Amino acid sequence: MKKCALLLILVLMTGMLSSCAVSETDGGEAAQLVCLNIGKADCMLLMYQSEAYLIDTGYEQNWPALEAMLRQYGVTRLNGVFVTHCHEDHEGGLMALAKSDTAVDAWYAPRIYYGITEALHPAVQAAAVRNASVSWLEAGNRLTVGSDGSFSVLGPLSVDVTNENNNSLVMRFSCGQGSILFTGDMKEDEEYELLQAGAFSSCDVLKVGHHGDNKATGKKMLKIVQPDVAVILTDSREEPDTPASSTLKRLDNVDCVSYISQDFSDALLITLKKGQKPTVTDVAWDDVPQRAENVSLSIDTENDTLTVYNRGNEALNLNGCSVYSTKGNELFTLPDATVAAGGQIVIGTKSTGGGADVYLTAKKVWNKKNLDRAIFYDAYGRVLACTDNGLAE
């Protein structure tokens, strides 16, 4: 595809920021990046001056967490929403966002993608809810942010018809306070192509590609980028091979401090100020309860049941909670029930012969022949526990 040399100008709209935003007494110009702790999924909010941008939206089931983030920072208008590529852990919350009261000035996605028609592209479908259209981005595009900031689109440069991750939108945000490299789920093939094109330059913060797995974020790229801080969005309970120890070692070898979303409360906040190293802060939402701890799961494939164990000190209400089957790619809302402190509850299906406490309406859920993982989300879209059925990959 041809590179687009057109300059895309973002409409300047004033986003309302809460007291968590930087005040004039703090210099008034700091750039802030909020990264959600929602498992192996990407969702980030970038705020600079009076503008706010969303980069990816996590899974559909993460929408309550995304909504809480916007509410926490008083964001009622997004100047832009970026979809890095067509995978559910990056675009799953788009439709809920489109149906919400949050104003969106522009919807962005990479022109290069594979496997679906334009009409079925998740960004196109979300924008259509607002009677809007998608602005397709190509390498060479530049979007202005505030008085001195911009997103520079670096890739993708060519289509990968075997792995949509390598069609990820790669962007460099820069402003007077510093710079951030966003890589989506870019893996080694796209990374190599961008290296060959000389697309990379140094940055302060790196959003590590593909949840920190071992097939991304190579030595040659890091030698050029030299970030001070790297953020990895994953949960090793959900995806045990992330973050890969080899990736963490490569980051450490360039004196980069790595932060993993699973180690934070609801989100981590990265702040950029001119002349200073990036700072990282743990964030817990003001208006939702703390994430329940000491919750675990087990799958019985013979009886098609999921047991939820509550080893915490408080009762666990399942109202609004959900469970996701990775093999079946299905999300189930759990029955309204309570798991006592120190107790457990067995959740069955229509295939369960007996012995369950509550039942899903599904005929059958858990795979008996292939690896299947259960991911348990609370009513606020946060991962509480994960397990698998004990079968090999």
Is residue 264 predicted with pLDDT exceeding 80? yes
Q: Is the pLDDT of residue 42 over 90?
A: yes
Q: Decide if 288 is inside a domain.
A: no
> SS3 for 215?
coil
Q: Is residue 393 part of a domain?
A: no
Q: Looking at the whole model, is its pTM more than 0.85? A: yes
pLDDT at 217 over 50: yes
Average pLDDT, stretch 320-345?
96
| Residue 160 and residue 248 share a domain | yes
Does 331 share its domain with 200? no
What is the percentage of the chain residues whose pLDDT exceeds 70? 93
What are 273-293's pLDDT values in tens digits?
Answer: 999 999 999 999 998 999 999
Count other Cβ atoms within 10 Å, centred on residue 159.
15
Residue 53 pLDDT greater than 90, yes or no: yes
**Side chain identity at residue 176, one-letter code:** G
Range of the domain at 112: 7-283
Same domain, 333 and 365: yes
Residue 289 lies in a domain: no
Question: What is the spatial distance between Cα 237 and Cα 392, in angstroms, rounded to a whole number?
Answer: 16
- Same domain? 256 vs 366: no
- CA–CA distance, 304 with 352 (Å, rounded to integer): 6
In a domain, 1, yes or no: no
CA angle at residue 174 from 62 to 180, to 5 degrees?
A: 45
Q: Looking at per-residue confidence, does 22 or 313 come out higher?
A: 313
Which among 192, 138, 185, 194 has a CA at the least distance from the CA of 166?
185
- 129 and 23, same structural domain? yes
Q: In terms of domains, do 77 and 208 share one?
A: yes
Residues 236 and 335 in one domain: no
Residue 257 · residue 274 · CB < 8 Å:
no
Q: Is residue 290 part of a domain?
A: no
Give the residue from 283, 303, 329 where a domain finishes.
Answer: 283
Residue 86 and residue 38 in one domain: yes
Q: What's the pLDDT score for residue 47? A: 98
Please answer whether residues 298 and 387 qualify as being in contact, where contact means their C-beta atoms are separated by less than 8 angstroms: yes
Listed residues 283, 303, 326: the one ending a domain: 283
**Where residue 95 falls among pLDDT bands split at 50, 70, 90?**
very high
The pLDDT value given to residue 29:
84
Residue ending a domain, among 283, 307, 341, is: 283
Distance CA 244, CA 217 (A): 11
Q: What does each C-alpha distance from 364 to 12, 26, 278, 302 come to in angstroms?
A: 50, 55, 48, 11
In whole angstroms, how far apart are CA 230 and each of 50, 67, 209? 25, 25, 10
CATH of the domain at 368: 2.60.40.1260
- List the one residue out of 71, 86, 44 whose CA is nearest residue 259: 44
Whether the per-residue pLDDT at 28 is higher than 60: the answer is: no
251 and 317 in a single domain? The answer is no
What is the pLDDT of the chain when averaged over all its residues? 92
Residue 123 sits at the vertex; the CA angle it makes with 121 and 196, to the nearest 5 degrees, is: 80
CA-CA-CA-CA dihedral for 46, 51, 54, 60, to nearest 10: 120
Structure confidence at residue 259 as a pLDDT band (50, 70, 90): very high
Whether 103 and 143 map to the same domain: the answer is yes
Per 3-state DSSP, the chain is made up of helix, strand and coil in percentages (nearest 5) of 20, 30, 50
46 falls within a domain = yes
Structurally, how many domains does the chain consist of? 2
Tell whether 269 is covered by a domain: yes
Say if residue 269 is in the same domain as residue 318. Answer: no
pLDDT in tens, 141-159: 999 999 999 999 999 999 9
The CATH number of the domain where 250 resides is what? 3.60.15.10
Q: Is residue 34 part of a domain?
A: yes
Please name which of 42, 37, 20, 65 lies closest in space to residue 264, comparing C-alpha atoms. Answer: 37
